[in-house]
Amino acid sequence: MIYTIVPCYNAEHSISELLQSLSAYVSLDQVICVNDGSTDNTRSILESAQTLSYHFSENQGKGRCLRQGFELALSHSASQVLTIDCDMQHDPREIPKFIKTSSDFDIVIGSRRDHSNRFSAPMPINRRFSNTITSAWLSNLCRQPILDSQCGYRLISAQCIREILPLCKETGFMFETEFLIHAAKRGHRIGFVGIETIYTSAKSHMRYATDTLNFIKLMIQHRFTKSKAIIENSPEKVVSP
């Protein structure tokens, strides 16, 4: 049984259209919308929808919303959880590709790279640059290809979520990166499906400078932890009596 999580923040102009599109591929009573303290009409729209919903009174961050959604999905005996953004930059028509690919992977992520393995032109150049760098760094740390580190369109097995969620501490956008790092370290298989690159007029809630610095801090933290573990477990390490 697949549950779908939609983190929502000030999504009054897109959430109704998204839910209508989702209804062709998933059951709306298995869609969990997590309202991240929106200050527009998002809450009232969700309250009239056929979905499950959870409302934070104040903004908590995307990671906190995903955690809440994961916990609710697991409590409803979900076998897999799909995460999709609320701004219509993820096309629900591509959901069948995720489901088909998930038979071979624990995590399936949408990749916006084109046939030449570059991020597609519709993606703003600053996003293409940051995604190229972060994907390369994350691939190196995870020791497996991470084609699109910043895409929130994902299908994850419930078993993976149960194991990895307790290890995660981030509450903002870095939560998705942290989840992948812990999953890769524990041998979970990460796969990708090609998706269309869509950019709308909706304003991104990412803070590029701040989030880039947070990404670097997270990489250093996990790289240091990994190096420390190798040293401590090395048979050549001399222990003084």
Q: Which residue has the higher pLDDT, 115 or 66?
A: 66
Residue 240 placed within a domain: no
pLDDT given at position 232: 44
Residue 238 placed within a domain: no
The answer to whether residue 230 scores a pLDDT higher than 50 is: no
Per-residue pLDDT reduced to its tens digit, 115-153 = 667 776 677 787 788 888 888 989 999 999 999 988 999
pLDDT given at position 123: 78
Stated pTM of the model: 0.85
pLDDT given at position 117: 76
CATH number at residue 108: 3.90.550.10
- Reference 51, options 26, 68, 14, 83; nearest CA is 26
Question: Domain total for the chain?
Answer: 1
Q: Which residue has the higher pLDDT, 47 or 217?
A: 47
- Which residue segment(s) compose the domain that 22 sits in? 2-232
Residue 241 placed within a domain: no
Least confidently predicted of 54-63, 175-184, 214-223: 214-223
Residue 237 placed within a domain: no
Residue 17 placed within a domain: yes
